[in-house]
Structure 1
């Protein structure tokens, strides 16, 4: 009975930690019930096999009976690549066996029985989960989201440890301790902890480097957004200066028409001048002056590409988000949308919709566009195979993370959506 309790607790703990480290999110209740049922069936089946095969035989087949089903389950519900799920699984195998190893080392050191070792293992579950959630989960998630290389190399550390433990005692930790001296067990613990300390330190350093790189990319994007801002402002001012300069000539011509009693020609000319002046003015889309200039510039470009533009923008003049960061979001998202629409052969199908509103003191932005190509996603982020492309969405993500917001990108039925909440 004690063996079944130990095996079940270890399995449930591993499932819980994997779910946490992989940041799994099962959206639909039906899928949640199915996953819970899957876990329950595995616990029951393992208990049945443990009872009929015995603990020693059961542990010989433990990788096949437990590791493989768990891997495939999380491969389907996780949003990460299989190699990343593979690394997290082997990490959990190490953590699970370490509980028993620590308990047995302590019990043997004080001359206690194996029951005390089991109790020590059970006590370690809760504080270990807390430590994993607070200190290990953040760097793990950052690396899982931002790094695609080196995971096979990382996996070799927990694999080597697990193969060593399995070769000595077939995952029967009691046999491992019986066959090796306690001091070697302590040494094994130190080696494993040191290896993971180095991995986490590497994760931290990589995170700092990637953060610095993101800040540099964000700065470059901000400079580009500022350049667009000033170009739009300069263009508007230049047109205004031209029309101010020409206004005297316009008024003189209108005066001549009126003196000649040619009211029709005067009205026609006034209408033409009004249209020209309206074309020179910056159209107002929102109350934020800087963002409005960016929107005016990009929407004009979109319409020049025969893109049907729809806007519903409620953006107050003063925001928690800086004007420059808002420009980064809007300029990158709209520029990507314009580029996607340009690839559509039929101009009637080119659509761009920009929606922004304040909801529960949160700024919600949704930019939707049509597209006619294949959109590739890696870890829920759209990617591009072209050089220097795909940085726009990363810049948007960097801004959102800066304010602790939420973002998502989706491409369904030839409609691409960028949703941002700040």
Structure 2
């Protein structure tokens, strides 16, 4: 054996050790020192196999196949021993460790003719990369975070990563084969099928992630609205406690005025006491107390941009869930308030809302002034004007999705300085 061969064995052992350490770190495997020792003894007995496989004169076809089976299944057995289990994740780690060194080796062979040197470089590169990952995880103390991420990822992600690494190894290997065309027919063309499957899978995962972001954005808005509502309730409760604290003194003063037969002064004092209470009066009466609270909250927000909400009509309490009602009305009003906020003048703006329900249908119309051009696309969507387009622009899409849920229709128009959204949907008997 040459010096390079001994270095290959050493770097291979180093690579195997780092693979085990990384797997143990990110997959929470438990391994004792005795198992480590047994594992590396087994690895040492397996290492001569790949050296013999690369000597075709010494290794006939039958022996080559036997060595390949011995090496691959032996390594799988070694991983199972060190991790104390035989499972899909052990098999995955075993399969995933095969492709990277092969990729690095084939890249090196494009520039270096010496096979053993390329083999050595491939193990060195793989060891350095794994070591850097380990050092980074340890220095940033991200072991637990990575474990949680790995546990939460769907199985499709793991399969896709394995598939793409295999395809990459096949393609890179094909460039260094003397029988280039034959290799392409046998391996690369079938791999193209896997590549197409991988592409479709990535698209599907991307769509799923987009839907999750939309849902998260919608839920975040709902939680934000609930927090604001409870903050307002807390503020009102604090004011009420303050008023109650002084109530006894007010009664004493009022009793004194009545005893002194100061009727007019007593009535004035009662009026002053009433004005002391800033408990919010009910501004809207839609027939749905949840929507009343929503409109009260949105009207306060509208006031910050010198705007007011004017409501006319009634909102149903059955046939559509309150969550869906809030999705439609909250997003529509938020967009209207945002549009009004773009006016820099001191003019008062009005957001007009009309709602009604009859014969099993719910009708909702909102109109607000606009102060910049609004582009309504053919699919009834509006391009967001916010710079962070990835995390905004869900308002209209959430409205349309909810409307479709009730087999409804939505029409939008933007002309003569006014934006209008008109919705009609079918109420359901089972919704409460």
TM class, shorter-chain normalised? 0.3 to 0.5
Which structure dedicates a bigger proportion of its chain to helix? 1
Larger radius of gyration: 2
TM-score (norm 1): 0.46
Larger RCO (alpha carbons 8 Å, 6+ apart)? 1
